Amino acid sequence: MDDVVSQFFVSVGKLCADARLARLTVCLRVQDGKEWVGVPEPPPATEAADELDQTGYRDVVSVGGVDVRLSDVVEASIRRPEPGSVERSAS
């Protein structure tokens, strides 16, 4: 895998990790055209044999409770919350 493709998978992993922090919804589209939408879990970090091409991540990401192969992802996006759907803390 070339460096540009590896960087794509690292970026998808970071997107999922950041979205998880704020419980934001992401949409992942995979090679066969299916889309998975939901609040993601960050891909598990690893440096073992199951690491996806030296990305630091295992070849899996969970979106809305469904495991998706990170290496199958061809597009990733984050969705803006609907107005009024975000709870704000009183300060």
Q: Domain spans of the chain?
A: 3-79
pTM of the shown model: 0.81
51 forms beta bridges with 58
Backbone φ, ψ for residue 51 (5° rounding): -70, 140
Q: What pLDDT does 53 receive? A: 78
CATH top-level class for 3-79? mainly beta
Name which residue leads in pLDDT, 85 or 42: 42
**Mind listing the pLDDT tens digit for each residue in 15-74?**
999 999 989 999 999 999 999 999 999 888 888 887 787 888 888 999 989 999 999 999
Whole-number Å distance between alpha carbons of 62 and 83: 26
Give pairs for 71-75: CB < 8 Å, separation 24+.
Answer: 71/9, 72/30, 72/31, 72/32, 73/9, 73/12, 73/28, 73/29, 73/30, 74/29, 74/30, 74/31, 75/27, 75/28, 75/29
Which candidate, 87, 38, 83, places its Cα nearest to that of 65? 38
